[in-house]
């Protein structure tokens, strides 16, 4: 959450900190699970279940659907556990599976076939179409301190839920779950260029919403385009 706020507030595109020790432990759990160690598989479930549910809940917005996706994710993990080849982190692999199941739910809601999971690229996915900020002001506190505020976390969750689905999925995968731009693009069936634009659009929209709530009115400036 702190990294997400920092990205929105001041430093778009900053990478998430590496968790080498955790990743190595997850690799070891998966290796043992592939050899038939059910205790290791349970360890993977315990480790990733909260993240999978949180991811699905943010994408889908409904608790029941998120619970179903969580269950389907770990059923798929059992079914395909021998297919993991270590080309990405275990966490990335699990979150890709969860995202694909969430995308199936979204397509089913729209009455679309569930076999093709590609996300269409819209003409507005270009830097020229990015929105201008309407409320510019310094925040009353720094993102690290704000991240500890329960009410702010609820505000951020609400703002994320209001994002257009295309931008919400990119933001959740990249800034909350920590997938790289390339991994996010591959998961959603987008180009890296479109992924970057959608991520920036999501950050700008979230920053606008949060600045209206957290900005110091005394430091507010009128954006240049408002004078035109």
pLDDT tens profile 112-126? 554 444 445 455 555
In terms of domains, do 102 and 129 share one? no
- The pTM score is 0.70
77 & 158 share domain? no
For residues 223 and 133, the answer to whether their CB atoms sit within 8 Å is yes
Using pLDDT thresholds of 50, 70 and 90, give the confidence band for residue 139: very low
**136 - beta bridge partners?**
221
DSSP tag of 10: T
pLDDT single digits (tens) 77-128: 999 999 898 878 899 999 999 999 999 998 888 775 544 444 454 555 554 5
The partner residues of 139 in beta bridges, in order of sequence, read 215
Residue 4 forms part of a structural domain: no
Same domain assignment for residues 138 and 208: yes
24-59: pLDDT as tens digits: 999 999 999 999 999 999 999 999 999 999 999 999
Residue with tokens 């591959």: 186
Residues with Cβ within 8 Å of residue 72, at least 6 apart in sequence: 101
User: Using an 8 Å Cβ cutoff, are 40 and 32 in contact?
Assistant: yes
Contacting residues for 197 by C-beta, under 8 A, at least 6 apart: 125, 126, 127, 130
Q: Domain end: 109, 141, 171, which one?
A: 109
Q: Is the pLDDT score of 10 beyond 60? A: no
Query: 98 and 174: one domain?
Result: no
Mean pLDDT value of segment 145-149:
58
User: Do both 103 and 23 map to the same domain?
Assistant: yes
- Same domain for 133 and 214, yes or no, is yes
Q: What is the mean pLDDT of residues 176-201?
A: 90
Same-domain pairing of 154 and 67: no
Residue 192 domain-assigned (yes or no): yes
The answer to whether residue 8 scores a pLDDT higher than 60 is yes
224 falls within a domain: no
Contact 125, 164 (CB under 8 A): no
Same-domain check for residues 91 and 148:
no
CATH number of the structural domain spanning residue 135: 1.10.10.10
- State the total domains in the chain: 2
Based on its alpha-carbon atoms, the radius of gyration of the chain, rounded to whole angstroms, reads 19
- Give, as one character, the DSSP assignment of residue 203: H
User: Same domain, yes or no, for 148 and 181?
Assistant: yes
Final residue of a structural domain among 51, 75, 109: 109
Are the C-beta atoms of residues 171 and 163 closer than 8 Å to each other? yes
Task: Evaluate whether 52 touches 73 at the Cβ level (below 8 Å).
Answer: yes
Beta strands in 67-217 (DSSP E): none
Asked if residue 9 is part of any domain, the answer here is no
The range of the structural domain enclosing residue 46 comes to: 17-109
Decide if 42 contacts 48 (C-beta within 8 A): no
Q: Is residue 84 part of a domain?
A: yes
Are residues 134 and 104 both part of a single domain? no
CATH assignment of the domain containing 67: 1.10.1740.10
Whether residues 98 and 151 fall in one domain: no
Q: Is 90 helix (H, G, I), strand (E, B) or coil?
A: helix
Q: Give the residue among 35, 33, 60 at the shortest CA–CA distance from 48.
A: 33
In a domain, 228, yes or no: no
Residue 98 shares a structural domain with residue 138: no
Q: Which of 6-10, 29-33, 91-95, 130-134 has the lowest mean pLDDT?
A: 130-134
């Amino acid at each position: 959450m702190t990294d997400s706020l920092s990205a929105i507030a001041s430093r778009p595109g900053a990478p998430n900190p590496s968790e080498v020790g955790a990743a190595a432990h997850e690799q070891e759990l998966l290796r043992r699970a592939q050899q038939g160690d059910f205790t290791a598989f349970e360890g993977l479930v315990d480790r990733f279940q909260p993240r999978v549910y949180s991811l699905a809940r943010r994408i889908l917005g409904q608790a029941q659907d998120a619970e179903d996706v969580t269950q389907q994710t770990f059923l798929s993990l059992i079914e395909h556990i021998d297919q993991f080849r270590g080309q990405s982190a275990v966490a990335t692999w699990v979150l890709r599976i969860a995202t694909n199941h969430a995308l199936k739910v979204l397509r089913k809601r729209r009455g679309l076939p569930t076999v093709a999971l590609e996300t269409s690229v819209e003409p507005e996915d270009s830097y020229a179409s990015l929105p201008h900020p309407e409320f510019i002001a310094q925040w009353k506190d720094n993102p690290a301190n704000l991240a500890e505020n329960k009410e702010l976390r609820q505000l951020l969750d609400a703002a994320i839920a209001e994002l257009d689905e295309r931008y919400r999925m990119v933001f959740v995968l990249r800034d909350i779950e920590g997938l790289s731009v390339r991994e996010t693009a591959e998961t959603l069936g987008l180009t890296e260029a479109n992924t970057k634009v959608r991520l920036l659009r999501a950050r700008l929209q979230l920053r606008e919403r949060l600045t209206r709530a957290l900005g110091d009115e005394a430091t507010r400036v009128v954006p240049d385009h408002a004078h035109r």
